[in-house]
Amino acid sequence: MKLELSSFEKALASLDEALAEYDRTQSQFVKDACIQRFEYTYELAHKLLKRQLEAMSPNPSEIDQMSFPDMIRTGAERGLLSQSWDHWKYFRDARNATSHAYNEKKANEVFVRIPAFRDEAAFLLARLQERNAE
C-alpha cells in the first residue's frame, strides 16, 4: 500500500519556507506563521506514521490501539523515525501548548522546538517515500 504524501510534502516545504523567512526577517508575524505551520505538519506526521505502521503490521488494529508513546517507539524500532519517545514527547508538548490561548512566552518555547521537529519530519518523509518506492 502506498501512502498519499503530497500534503505532508507541501506542509514540510511550507514550514521550511516560513523558517527561512524568519531567519531573514526575525518578524513576530513570521514566527507565528512558523508555529501554525508546525501545528499542521505535526498532525500530518502523526497520521502518516500511524498509517504506515498499520500498513506494515500483520494486525493493523494493534497499531490503532497503541498509546502514542508506544506508536513512536514502534516507529523508531522500524526505522521510520530517527528520534526516540523523549524527543517526540518534546514535540507533542509543543503541539499541545499551541492549543491554548496565545501567550508570547509559550509561543517562544514552541518556536525553539520547531527546527528539531522539522528535521525529524523530514526524516519521516524520506522513509515514507522510500517505502512508497518499494
Residue 81's SS3 state is coil
CA distance 33 to 21: 10
Annotation marks residue 127 as catalytic: no
CA distance 42 to 116: 12
DSSP string, 41-78: HHHHHHHHHHHHHHHH-SSHHHHHTS-HHHHHHHHHHT
Annotation marks residue 87 as catalytic: no
Report the helix count and the strand count for the chain, using DSSP H and E. 7, 0
Catalytic residue among 95, 113, 127, 131: 95
CA distance 122 to 105: 27
Supply the residues annotated as catalytic: 95, 100
